[in-house]
Amino acid sequence: MILKGKVHKYGCDVDTDVIIPARYLNTSDPAELAAHCMEDIDGEFVKNVKAGDIIVADDNFGCGSSREHAPIAIKAAGVSCVIAKTFARIFYRNAINIGLPILQCPEAVDGISAGDQVEVDASTGKITNLTTGKSYQAMPFPPFMQRLIDVGGLIEYAKDKIKSAGCSCCML
């Protein structure tokens, strides 16, 4: 899968409260959440973001709460993938579970500036900065996680498991 778009760049420790503030958590509707995405760190984000755009950030992206509303808001805002030096662990799980591509690649983060055009091959992890012409290789996912991604996320994985093993009430 090839992803391509303009870069929105942020620093360290972008937390889930700025990705989607708690005052909007009385809904779980992706479109409503997307309308307030990044509001407290970048008031212009929602106005500027276009389908396919890429978020690039420094260390510990998505730290803070477990709210899945954060990756949901980012995905629904049209962002095609997030590249960071490191991700906070719950955000990392959530992104994989809901099918938002995320890539860990410190060199790419240092070599990409806000506004650059970037292309990502999500299956190989190759990141190309089209503005500078430089390429980078992101860290591969461990095999189990790659399998989760390949079957289409955790819900598909659980569906298969229930289908083959049955749920507790069927086994009674």
Partner 1 sequence: MGQTITQKILAAHCGKDAVEAGELITAKLDLVLANDITAPIAIREFEKIGAGCVFDKDKVALVPDHSTPAKDIKSAEQVKIMRDFARKYGITNFFEIGRVGIEHTLLPDMGLVLPGDAVIGADSHTCTYGAIGAFSTGVGSTDLAAAMALGETWLRVPETIKFVYYGKLNKWVGGKDLILYTIGKIGVDGALYCSMEFTGETIEGLPMADRFTMCNMAIEAGGKNGIIPPDETTLAYVKQRAKREFKTYKSDADALYKEVIEIDCSKLEPQIAFPHLPENTKPLSEVGNVKIDQSVIGSCTNGRIEDLRVAAEILKGRQVHRDVRLIIFPGTQEIYKQAMHEGLFDIFVDSGAAVSTPTCGPCLGGHMGCLAEGERAIATTNRNFVGRMGHPKSEVYLSGPAVAAASAVLGCIGGPDQLEKR
**Binding residues for partner 1, per CB under 8 A?**
13, 15, 17-18, 21-23, 25-28, 39-41, 59-60, 63-69, 71-72, 86, 88-90, 93-94, 97-98, 142, 144-145, 148, 153-155, 157-159, 161-163, 167-170
Q: What are phi and psi of 136, to 5 degrees?
A: -140, 155
Rounded to a whole number of angstroms, the minimum distance from the CB of residue 101 to partner 1 is 16
Name which of 43 and 133 has its Cβ closer to partner 1.
43
Nearer to partner 1, 88 or 120 (CB): 88
Name the minimum Å distance from CB 110 to partner 1: 17
User: Token digits for 50?
Assistant: 């276009």
**Separation of alpha carbons 83 and 106, rounded Å:** 9
Judging by beta carbons within 10 Å of its beta carbon (0-12, 13-18, 19+), is residue 69 exposed, middle or buried?
buried
Chain center to CA of 167: 31
Nearer to partner 1 by Cβ, of 77 and 88: the residue is 88
The DSSP H or E segment spanning 72 is: helix 69-76
Query: Smaller CB distance to partner 1: residue 18 or 122?
Result: 18
Please check whether residue 76 is in contact with residue 29, taking contact to mean a CB–CB distance below 8 angstroms: no
**Spatial CB neighbours of 151, under 8 Å, sequence gap ≥ 6:** 157, 160
Tell me the closest approach of the beta carbon of residue 52 to partner 1, in angstroms.
Answer: 24
- In the bound complex, what is the minimum distance in angstroms from residue 42's beta carbon to partner 1? 11
Distance CA 50, CA 70 (A): 18
Task: Output the smallest distance, CB 39 to partner 1, in A.
Answer: 8
- By C-beta, is 1 or 162 nearer to partner 1? 162
Helices (H) and strands (E) in the chain, counts: 9, 7
